[in-house]
C-alpha cells in the first residue's frame, strides 16, 4: 500500500519518532511504501513529497522537531484548496494518509475525510489540549523542560528575594502550567480556564512574603487573562499581536511581562519575568514521549490496514484506542481542575 504522512501545526518533540514508527511498521510489517509530504498540508497543496525508507530512519527516534517540516497551512482557507489536496494525493497514488497534528491539522483531515480522503490521525501537541486522548506526545517533554526552568528560577528568585513570573505555552489550556507548576513547586499557577484577579494574586504574594518567604514563583499560561475590567483590557492589549494564521489564531505572548510589572507596581516587591516560549517545543523527546509516539505510529499503520479511516489513535487507560476524528476535533480538552483545586491548592499562596 502507498501511505502518505505529514506533520502539521506547531512542532513537538516526538514527531520524528512517529514518522519513524509509521515508516518502519508500514514497511517491515506490511510491505508499504511511505511518502512524506513536506511542511504539512502545504506540501500536499504544492505536491512536494519525499520517499521515506525504513533503512534511513536510524537517527529519528531521539531527534526533536520534524524532518518533514511543518506549517499552519489550511487547505480550506482557499476555495479550490480542499479539492486540490484530494487530487494531488490521488495523482501521487496515495491510498491512505497518516496526519500527525493537533486540532487544526486533524480538523482538516476530518473535513477532507468527509470528501473521501482515507485518513488516520495521530494526536500531537505540547499543549495536551486534544480531546479524546488522555495525553498527546510532546506534552511530557514540554513539562520536563518547563520544570527544569522553574527549578532554576527558584534559586535565583530566592537569592534576590524576588517574584519571578514564568510564562509557559498553552493557548487555550493550562496543562503545561499546572503540571510544571506542581512539579516545580510554584506559588501561583494561572491558567486560561480560570480567569484571575490581579489584586488577589498580589494579596497572596504579600501575605506569603509577610510570613517570611521572600521569594515567589508565579507560573502563567500564555493564554491566561484577568477576569474582567481594566486589567483584562490592559492584559489583552499586551498579549496578542500581529496577523492571525490561516486557522484564525493570533500570536500570543506577553502576559508574563505584563503581570510581573503589575505585581511589582502593586506590591512593591522586585519582580522579573521569563518567557520559556519555543524552548518548550524544541529538543529531544523524553523516554515517555518516544514510547508514546512509537505506539501511536504503529497503531496508526494498523488502523490503515484495517481500513479504519476517519479515526484518531489515542491513549486511554494506558491502552491505545481509536476515536472518531469528528469527535476529537473542534473542542479543546481543558484542564482537569481537580489538579489545581485539590492537588496544587495546598502548596499555592
Residues that bind ligand F6P (CB under 6 A): 9-10, 125-127, 169-171, 222, 251-252, 281
Shortest distance (Å) from residue 54 CB to ligand F6P: 29
- HSE (CB half, 13 Å, CA atoms) of 242? 9
Shortest distance (Å) from residue 41 CB to ligand F6P: 15
**Which of 193/222 has CB closer to ligand F6P?**
222
- Helices 198-210 and 255-267 meet at what angle, rounded to 10? 60
Shortest distance (Å) from residue 177 CB to ligand F6P: 11
Shortest distance (Å) from residue 9 CB to ligand F6P: 6
**Which of 26/101 has CB closer to ligand F6P?**
101
Shortest distance (Å) from residue 126 CB to ligand F6P: 5
C-alpha 259/C-alpha 240 separation (Å) is 14
HEC string for the chain? CEEEEEECCCCCCCHHHHHHHHHHHHHHHHCCEEEEECCCHHHHHCCCEEEECHHHCCCCCCCCCCCCCCCCCCHHHCCCHHHHHHHHHHHCCCCEEEEEECHHHHHHHHHHHHCCCCEEEEEECCCCCCCCCCCCECHHHHHHHHHHHHHHHHHHHHHHCCEEEEEECCCCCCHHHHHHHHHHCCCEEECCCCCECHHHHHHHHHHHHHCCCCCEEEEEECCCCECCHHHHHHHHHHHCECCCCCCCCCECCCHHHHHHHHHHHHHCCCEEEEECHHHHCCCCCCHHHHHHHHHHHHHHHHHHHCCCCCEEEEEECCEEEEEEHHHHCCCCCCCCCHHHHHHHHHHCC
The set of catalytic residues is 127
Shortest distance (Å) from residue 192 CB to ligand F6P: 10
Cell of 102: 493537533
Shortest distance (Å) from residue 270 CB to ligand F6P: 29
**Which of 240/303 has CB closer to ligand F6P?**
240
Residue number with the smallest Cβ distance to ligand F6P = 10
C-alpha 334/C-alpha 340 separation (Å) is 12
**Which of 126/339 has CB closer to ligand F6P?**
126
Residue partners of 93: CB distance under 8 A and separation at least 6: 2
Amino acid at each position: 500500500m502507498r501511505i502518505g504522512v505529514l506533520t502539521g501545526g506547531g512542532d513537538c518533540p516526538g514527531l520524528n519518532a512517529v514518522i519513524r514508527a509509521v515508516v518502519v511498521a508500514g514497511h517491515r510489517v506490511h510491505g508499504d511504501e511511505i511518502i512524506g509530504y513536506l511542511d504539512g498540508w502545504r506540501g500536499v497543496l504544492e505536491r512536494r513529497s519525499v520517499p521515506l525508507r525504513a533503512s534511513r530512519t536510524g537517527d529519528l527516534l531521539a531527534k526533536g522537531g520534524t524532518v518533514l517540516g511543518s506549517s499552519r497551512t489550511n487547505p480550506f482557507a482557499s476555495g479550490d484548496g480542499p479539492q486540490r489536496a484530494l487530487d494531488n494525493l490521488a495523482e501521487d497514488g496515495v491510498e491512505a494518509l497518516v496526519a500527525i497534528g493537533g486540532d487544526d491539522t486533524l480538523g482538516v483531515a476530518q473535513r477532507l475525510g468527509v470528501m473521501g480522503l482515507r485518513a488516520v490521525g495521530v494526536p500531537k501537541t505540547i499543549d495536551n489540549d486534544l480531546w479524546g486522548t488522555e495525553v498527546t506526545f510532546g506534552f511530557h517533554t514540554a513539562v520536563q523542560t518547563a520544570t527544569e526552568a522553574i527549578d532554576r528560577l527558584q534559586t535565583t528568585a530566592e537569592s534576590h528575594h524576588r517574584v519571578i513570573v514564568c510564562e509557559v505555552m498553552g493557548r487555550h489550556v493550562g496543562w503545561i502550567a499546572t503540571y510544571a507548576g506542581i512539579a516545580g513547586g510554584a506559588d501561583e499557577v494561572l491558567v486560561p480556564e480560570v480567569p484571575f484577579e490581579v489584586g488577589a494574586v498580589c494579596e497572596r504574594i504579600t501575605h506569603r512574603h509577610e510570613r517570611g518567604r521572600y521569594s515567589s514563583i508565579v507560573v502563567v499560561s500564555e493564554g491566561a487573562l484577568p477576569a474582567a475590567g481594566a486589567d483584562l483590557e490592559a492584559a489583552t492589549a499586551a498579549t496578542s499581536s500581529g496577523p492571525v494564521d490561516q486557522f484564525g489564531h493570533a500570536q500570543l505572548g506577553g502576559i508574563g511581562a505584563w503581570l510581573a510589572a503589575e505585581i511589582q507596581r502593586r506590591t512593591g516587591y522586585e519582580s522579573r519575568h521569563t518567557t520559556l516560549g519555543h524552548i518548550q517545543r524544541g529538543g529531544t523527546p523524553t523516554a515517555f514521549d518516544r514510547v508514546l509516539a512509537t505506539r501511536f505510529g504503529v497503531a496508526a499503520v494498523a488502523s490503515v490496514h484495517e481500513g479504519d479511516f476517519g479515526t484518531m489513535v489515542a491513549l486511554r487507560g494506558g491502552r491505545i484506542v481509536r476515536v472518531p476524528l469528528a469527535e476529537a476535533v473542534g473542542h479543546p480538552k481543558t484542564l482537569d481542575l481537580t489538579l489545581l483545586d485539590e492537588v496544587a491548592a495546598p502548596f499555592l499562596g
